[in-house]
Amino acid sequence: MQNREGSPDSELYYEDDVYDLDHEYGYSVEATRIYFRELDQQGQLRLNPLWMPLEEFKLDISNRNAVWLYAVNEWGQVSLGVEKFGTVVTREQLDDMVIGMGSRQDGLTQESLLAAMSGLGHPTVAAGFDEETGVLVRGDARISGEFRWSKSRKSWIVSDNSGRYMGPEKRQGFSDEDRMLWLTSVAGDFSRHLGIEVQPSLAFPGIAATAALRAVHGSTNPSNSSAPLPVSQPHVPSTQPSRTHPGP
């Protein structure tokens, strides 16, 4: 997002800013659900273990198996994390982590570490910290999806593959052209930061038609065995939360 002249505290400034972000990255929406595995022992949303802002992201271009999640927040900032932890770390790195954490967790193995670090989806990437309380809170998201290598395109791509932020129930009425516009915006953000070409890619073309069918016939999705929770985490406050890179 480009800087604008004028005061960010003015109502006109804010409305113009939000309008542009809505156009470039889509509306900000809450996740359809939070899964039990994404909550800590106190029932609070977990932060993705590899959460980072795009500005801190360094790509290992040799690892074409990596699948990164990304989410664009209400203010147009891109954050990343992983759901499949094993795609972005090597066995040697896992060994180092097990050794480093083993003194605090008896019986820790590569397999148990992978299990603990995996399965955390887009809500754990869109999360942020309340700047007043420091508490991690659920965050809404605009365009969200995956950043990965595409064998067919021979290029790194960003997709809109996020069921909980980009599914038909959240984006009903928006065409493939709308979604491609949002993807093109975030692909440009990745390209400028990484210095490589990143292409936009629709994960599910025709999703607007799917949404229309669901509105008529109802959802045909099978019940999820992961036992989704209703979205009940506290909402990100209207002021922008401070976000810091989680510690090791």
Token pair in block for residue 135: 């508490």
| Mean pLDDT on 103-107 | 63
Name residue, tokens 């980072």: 52
With respect to residue 73, please indicate whether it lies within any of the assigned structural domains.
yes
Identify the domain containing residue 38 by its residue range: 28-84+119-225
The mean pLDDT of the chain is 78
Between 56-65, 135-144, 145-154, the lowest mean confidence (pLDDT) is in: 135-144
With respect to residue 187, please indicate whether it lies within any of the assigned structural domains.
yes
Distance CA 225, CA 227 (A): 5
pTM: 0.74
| Mean pLDDT on 166-175 | 90
With respect to residue 44, please indicate whether it lies within any of the assigned structural domains.
yes
pLDDT at residue 13, rounded to an integer: 41
pLDDT at residue 72, rounded to an integer: 97
With respect to residue 95, please indicate whether it lies within any of the assigned structural domains.
no
With respect to residue 104, please indicate whether it lies within any of the assigned structural domains.
no
| Beta-bridge partners for 69 | 81, 146
With respect to residue 100, please indicate whether it lies within any of the assigned structural domains.
no
With respect to residue 219, please indicate whether it lies within any of the assigned structural domains.
yes
With respect to residue 158, please indicate whether it lies within any of the assigned structural domains.
yes
pLDDT at residue 133, rounded to an integer: 84
| Mean pLDDT on 127-141 | 83
pLDDT digits (tens, 9 = 90+) for 36-94: 999 988 888 889 988 999 999 999 999 999 999 999 999 999 999 999 887 787 777 66
Cβ burial 24-39 (10 Å sphere, 16+ → b, else e):
bbbbbbbbebbbeebe
pLDDT at residue 114, rounded to an integer: 66
| Mean pLDDT on 19-38 | 93
Domain count, the chain: 1
